[in-house]
Amino acid sequence: MYYRGDDMKMIDVLLNSSLFTDMSYDEVKNAFKYLDENYSGTYYTKKFFADDYIAIEGYTCENLGIILHGEIEVQRELPSGKFFTISSFKEGDCFAESIIFSKKNEYPSSIVSITESEILFISKTGLLKLMIMNEKLFENFARILSDRIHLLSDRVTTLSLDNIRKKIANLLLKEYKTTASLTIVLPYSRDKMAQLLNVTRPSLSRELTNMKDDGLINYYKNKFTILDINALEESLL
């Protein structure tokens, strides 16, 4: 389904998107009006049901995606048919920003709609024209790329740790560093936590119990309390 740049619902969501941070309603409206008048067809929206594939690993990436509604996940399928979650995105988030301008512009992983969702797709041509037109949008895009590099670096660090306790400790210590609180509430389920750490749910539950018995942490559902931060740090060594 195609939308015009003056669609109020779309603009309201985009104002909370990282790509349009610090831009006014009129600036966003005029940006898409500019595309409508000069580069028609360079953006469109599409709705997906839960579990629909938005993109498939190995397929050519031709558009930047912005989530107008719903939640999606980037997933990698293993030869066994199992998959693990690389990252999750929600309303206002962008995806494929690091692929669209790549010489090898193929999706390295599949993207799946976890809930019903609606995605705004902007072509490479459309995105280039918007960035040339608005310096702030160009700055926002550069910041998104930089933030994504840091995120991927954290993900690689987690996957490189050689046991489950180290992965859990690294996650909790990272959250502690961000919040400066020994009580941490993770914004996802235990299943999602297992996927992010690339471990099985039973293995995660077993190690959490061991860490609780060892006096490192306490927890209830997705709320964790660090009881011995020194011992937790030492578990990474």
Does 27 fall in a domain? yes
Instruction: Please give the distance of CA 209 from its chain centroid, rounded to a whole number.
Output: 29
Instruction: Tell me the CATH number at 109.
Output: 2.60.120.10
Check whether residue 64 and residue 120 sit in a common domain.
yes
Scored b (16 or more CB within 10 A) or e, 133-148 reads ebeebeebbeebeeee
233: pLDDT strictly greater than 90: yes
Q: What is the mean pLDDT of the chain?
A: 90
Check whether residue 170 and residue 118 sit in a common domain.
no
Check whether residue 188 and residue 127 sit in a common domain.
no
The residue from 159, 174, 209 where one domain ends is 159
Instruction: Tell me the CATH number at 179.
Output: 1.10.10.10
Rounded average pLDDT over 171-186: 92
pLDDT tens, position by position, 9-55: 889 999 999 999 999 999 999 999 999 999 999 999 999 999 999 99
61: pLDDT strictly greater than 70: yes
Q: Which contacts qualify for 55-58: CB closer than 8 Å, 24 or more apart?
A: 55/96, 55/107, 55/110, 55/111, 56/107, 56/110, 57/107, 57/108, 57/109, 57/110, 58/106, 58/107
Give the number of C-alpha atoms closer than 13 A to the C-alpha of residue 231, restricted to the C-beta side: 10
In the block, residue with structure tokens 């690389």: 86
Check whether residue 149 and residue 87 sit in a common domain.
yes
Please give the Cα distance from 117 to 46 (Å, whole number).
8
From residue 12, alpha-carbon distances to 6, 17, 133, 151 in Å are: 10, 9, 20, 27
Check whether residue 47 and residue 63 sit in a common domain.
yes
Please give the Cα distance from 88 to 43 (Å, whole number).
23
Domain total for the chain?
2
Check whether residue 139 and residue 220 sit in a common domain.
no
Check whether residue 91 and residue 206 sit in a common domain.
no
Does 218 fall in a domain? yes
Residue 82: the pLDDT is: 75
Residue 193: Cβ within 10 Å count:
20
Check whether residue 123 and residue 212 sit in a common domain.
no
| pLDDT band of 213, cuts 50, 70, 90 | very high
Residue 124: Cβ within 10 Å count:
15
Does 105 fall in a domain? yes
Does 44 fall in a domain? yes
Residue 36: the pLDDT is: 92
The residue from 131, 159, 187 where one domain ends is 159
Rounded average pLDDT over 97-117: 93
168: pLDDT strictly greater than 80: yes
Does 192 fall in a domain? yes
Residue 1: the pLDDT is: 39
The residue from 120, 141, 159 where one domain ends is 159
* Dihedral (Cα; 155, 158, 162, 168), 10-degree rounding: -150
Check whether residue 180 and residue 86 sit in a common domain.
no
Dihedral over Cα of 110, 207, 226, 189: its sign = positive
Does 3 fall in a domain? no
pTM score, whole prediction: 0.74
Check whether residue 216 and residue 193 sit in a common domain.
yes
Check whether residue 110 and residue 211 sit in a common domain.
no
Rounded average pLDDT over 222-233: 94
Check whether residue 131 and residue 81 sit in a common domain.
yes
Does 93 fall in a domain? yes
Residue-range definition of the domain harbouring residue 217 = 161-234
